[in-house]
Amino acid sequence: MMKAEPWQKAEIPGPKKALVITKPEVVVAMIKRAKRPILIAGSKVAEIDIAGEKLIDYVIKLAKAGKIPVVATAHTVGEFLKRGFKPDGFMPIVDIANRLKDPEWEGLDGNGPYDLALFIGMQYYVEWLILSGLKHFAGGLKTLTLDGVYHPHASWSFPTLSIEDWAKNLRVIIEKMEAGM
C-alpha cells in the first residue's frame, strides 16, 4: 500500500498538499539542508510497536544520529527519561505549535527560530490539525512528518506505508544520519 491519501478517509485537506516522500534519502537530505531542525515526538511514540521496537526507540536513535533537538509532547518525557534520553524540551503539542508559528520565538536554546519541524507519533487527527495550523500560519517553517501515514497538511510526508516499509524507511534514515551521509 503506497497511497498518498489521508489515513482517515474523511479528512480532505484542500488545494495545498504535502509533497510525497518516495525515498528515505529525501528525509536525510531535508534534515541536512535545514539550518535549525527540531523533532516533535507525540504521545503515541511509546505505544506504537514497529518491527519489534517501540517507535520511541527509533526517535531517540534519530535524534542522536542527527543531533536534532527533541520536544516531547503530552506526558511522553517520562518515557524518554526511562530510556536514559533527556529531550531538549517537553511541552504540550499546542504550546510547541504555538511557538513554532511565532517568527520571533528564539527556540528552546535561544538561538533563533527553527526552519524544519519533524513530527512523529501523534493521534492522526491531532497531527493533522497541528500541521494545518503550521501550514497556514508558520510562514518560515517547513514541516515533515515521519509517520507511516500520509499527512497532506505537512510540507513533506511519506505516503501511507505498511508497518514493515515504515520501519525500513526509518532505519535507513537513521543509518544514513549515523553515517553522516
Partner 1 sequence: MKKTRIRIDELKSDFATIKGLELSVGRVIEEEWEEPIGPTPFPSITDLREWDLKLLKRYKPFYMPFCDVCCLCTFGKCDLTGDKRGACGLNMPAQQSRIVLLACCIGAATHIGHARHLVDHLIEKFGRRTPINVGGTNVEVEAPVTRLVCGIRPRTLGDLEEVLDYLEEQLTHLLSVTHTGQEGSNIDFESKVFHAGMIDQVGMEIADIAQISAYGFPRADPDAPLVELGFGVVDREKPVIMVIGHNVPPAIEIVDYLNDLGLLGEVEVVGLCCTAHDVTRYNPKAKIVGPISWQLRAIRSGIPDVIVVDEQCIRADALVEAQKIHAPLIAASEKNCLGLENRTDDDPDKIVDDLVNGKVPGVLILDPEKVGEVAVKVALKVAPKRKKFKVIPDVSEVIEGSKRCRQCNECRRACPNDLPIPAAIKAAAGGNLDKLNELYDDCIGCARCEHACPENLPIHSFIVKAAEKKMKEETFKVRAGRGAIQDIEIRKVGGPIVLGEIPGIIAFVGCANYPKGGREIAEMAMEFAKRRYIVVTSGCAAMSAGMYKNEEGKTPYEMFPGDFDAGCLLNVGSCVSNPHIAGAAIKIASIFARRNLRGNYEEIADYVLNRVGAVGVAWGAMSQKAASIASGFWRLGVPVVVGPHGLKYRRMLLGRADREEDWYVYDARTGKKVYVGPTPEHLFYAAETKEEAMVMIAKLCMRPNDTTKGRAIKLTHYIDLHKRLYGTMPEDIHLFVRTLADLPVTMKDEITKILKEKGWKETVIPDPTLLPRLIRKSEA
Query: Would you give the DSSP letter of residue 18?
Result: P
Contact criterion met (CB below 8 Å) for 54 and 73: no
- Closest contact distance (angstroms) between CB of 181 and partner 1 is 33
Q: 22 vs 162, which CB is nearer to partner 1? A: 162
Q: Residue 50 pairs with which residues in a beta bridge?
A: 53
Cell of 175: 543509518
Contact criterion met (CB below 8 Å) for 30 and 146: no
- Closest contact distance (angstroms) between CB of 70 and partner 1 is 14
Residue 26: partners with Cβ closer than 8 Å, 6 or more residues away: 156
Q: 147 vs 177, which CB is nearer to partner 1? A: 147
Backbone torsion region of residue 84, taken as left when φ is above 0, otherwise alpha when ψ lies between -120 and 50, otherwise beta: left
Residues lying near partner 1 in the complex (CB under 8 A) are found at 7-16, 42-43, 73-75, 77-79, 81-82, 89-90, 92-95, 97-99, 101-102, 105, 122-126, 129-130, 132-133, 135-137, 139
- Closest contact distance (angstroms) between CB of 88 and partner 1 is 11
- Closest contact distance (angstroms) between CB of 121 and partner 1 is 10
- Closest contact distance (angstroms) between CB of 133 and partner 1 is 4
Q: 47 vs 178, which CB is nearer to partner 1? A: 47
Query: Would you give the DSSP letter of residue 155?
Result: S
Contact criterion met (CB below 8 Å) for 119 and 40: yes
Q: 91 vs 167, which CB is nearer to partner 1? A: 91
Compute the distance between CA of residue 176 and CA of residue 181 in angstroms, rounded to an integer. Answer: 5
Q: 21 vs 96, which CB is nearer to partner 1? A: 96
